[in-house]
Amino acid sequence: MQIGVPRETAPRERRVALAPDSVGRLVKTGVRVVVEHDAGAAASFPDSAYAAAGATVASTLAETLAESDVVTKVQRPSPAEALAFKTGAILVSLFQPAASAEVMPALVDRAVTVLSLERVPRITRAQSMDVLSSQSTVAGYKAVLIGASMMPKFLPMLTTAAGNIAPAKAFILGAGVAGLQAIATARRLGAIVSAFDVRPAVREQVQSLGATFVAADAIASDAEDKRGYAREQTAEQQKRTAALLQDHLKQVDLVVTTAQIPGRPAPTLITEAMVAEMRPGTVIVDLAAETGGNCALTKPGEIVDANGVLIFGAIDIPSTVPTHASQMFGRNVLTLLQHLMKDGSVTVNLNDEIAGPMCVVYQGQART
């Protein structure tokens, strides 16, 4: 069996789907891994590291894919890339089926089966295969560092000969995987941290990280669905939450927002009026920018200055920590492949509780 790892071609994408450590583990199980020249270069993994792990380094995409039974990528392939796949190959990547119309004819042509990494079910057994979780960890960490570097203040308390500096106040909105990592990172940097989430289970997790839970009255017992995700708040609940958060936002220096509702636009938690009341110098890093943003003024990829309040619409953040983001992504892919491997080859069983929900295209046919 052969696994191909192409170089990513999407703009700003610096990750690679398998880091050398995961390649080494696959090679030890007898799998042949072919990595395209420079596939790991932007993540600081040179071709020599892949060769040392036992991979073959191919000089072109065509060579990488011609004999690969499984192709693993971070981002969905372009139509031209998909046409280089071997007939009947299995693609493992982020795929976002709703936005994949352009590549579908090529996948049909090559009878490709697609396992979409966003669809890893949120069950305990699949936690180690969940790229959304691993990449959210990276995003939560980096968001705080970005915010800290944009702030006109220190985060920690300092006692110096030039006087004492009070610690900054960081507020994390949405305390799922990214939010909890943001809390931990802001705490390590010495900030006083508070957080809010609509799901009741989160309160204890926030407190166990040494942060204060604010607006506890806005938590609804039915805020969480069966899969552990948040439900959209009603208009009434949204109004109530905004009223509770408004005063708190006036007192903070750094806000990291991470609130998401699967399949829906991100909830607007910070309105323009709320920003107008915030102190100049406050920084908002909006990790929900790609799905509409948690702040009404967010512009994806841009910094908006609203009377001295800076709002950064953060996009592609995991790609800015490419070494560890790739290492974690690769471990997720490796665990998934190990789960799918039977007698030395990868098979997709549509009745499998992990592969079934992930399989969005089966032998060239789109599944719903």
- Point out the residues that are catalytic: 122, 127, 130, 133, 229
Query: Residue 9 has which token pair?
Result: 């071609």
Residue 262 binding ligand NAD, by CB under 6 A: yes
Residue 133 binding ligand NAD, by CB under 6 A: yes
Q: Which of 347, 359, 287 is nearest to 114 (CA)?
A: 359
Query: Residue 271 has which token pair?
Result: 């309105």
CB of 304 to ligand NAD, least distance (A): 21
For ligand NAD, the binding residue among 124, 159, 160, 351 (CB under 6 A) is: 124
Query: Residue 294 has which token pair?
Result: 């948690």
> 86 vs 331, which CB is nearer to ligand NAD?
331
CB of 116 to ligand NAD, least distance (A): 15
In angstroms, the first-to-last Cα distance of the chain is 29
Stretch that binds ligand NAD, among 38-46, 92-100, 127-135, 206-214 (CB under 6 A): 127-135
Under 8 Å between Cβ of 293 and 320: no
For ligand NAD, the binding residue among 5, 26, 138, 175 (CB under 6 A) is: 175
CA count, 13 A, side-chain hemisphere, 144: 30
Stretch that binds ligand NAD, among 13-21, 173-181, 321-329, 347-355 (CB under 6 A): 173-181
Query: Residue 23 has which token pair?
Result: 């390649």
Neighbours of 4 (CB within 10 A): 31
Query: Residue 53 has which token pair?
Result: 């792990």
For ligand NAD, the binding residue among 185, 258, 319, 335 (CB under 6 A) is: 258
Instruction: State the Cα–Cα distance between residues 79 and 101, nearest whole angstrom.
Output: 10
CB of 57 to ligand NAD, least distance (A): 34
Torsion of Cα atoms, 267 then 272 then 278 then 284, to 10° = 50
Return the SS3 of 115. strand
Stretch that binds ligand NAD, among 12-20, 70-78, 175-183, 274-282 (CB under 6 A): 175-183
> 46 vs 228, which CB is nearer to ligand NAD?
228
Query: Residue 10 has which token pair?
Result: 């999407």
Segment 313 to 332, residues that bind ligand NAD, using CB under 6 A: none
For ligand NAD, the binding residue among 24, 77, 267, 364 (CB under 6 A) is: 267
Instruction: State the Cα–Cα distance between residues 316 and 239, nearest whole angstrom.
Output: 31
Residue 260 binding ligand NAD, by CB under 6 A: yes
Count the residues of the shown chain that bind ligand NAD, applying the rule CB under 6 A. Answer: 32
Query: Residue 40 has which token pair?
Result: 């790991």
Segment 214 to 253, residues that bind ligand NAD, using CB under 6 A: 228-230, 233
CB of 98 to ligand NAD, least distance (A): 17
Q: Cα 338 to chain center, whole Å?
A: 22
Name the residues that contact ligand NAD, by CB under 6 A.
Answer: 122-124, 126-127, 130, 132-133, 136, 173-179, 196-199, 202, 228-230, 233, 258-262, 267, 269
